[in-house]
Amino acid sequence: MVLPGGEQGQAGIEIGLAFAYLGSALFERLLAQG
């Protein structure tokens, strides 16, 4: 997804944070199960 102008940078940061949060949550869940 490509957004016009300066919005792309902000959206990229927000998406990156969201994926980092989801990734860390999944990683903690895997560690708890293992």
| DSSP per-residue letters across 19-31 | HHHHHHHHHHHHH
pLDDT at 7 over 90: no
Mean pLDDT computed over 9-29: 93
Q: Is the pLDDT of residue 3 over 60?
A: no
Long-range pairs, 8-11, Cβ under 8 A, ≥24: none
DSSP class of 5: T
Encoded amino acid at 5, one letter:
G
Q: At 10, is the secondary structure helix, strand, or coil?
A: helix
Q: How confident is the model at residue 9 (pLDDT cuts 50, 70, 90)?
A: confident
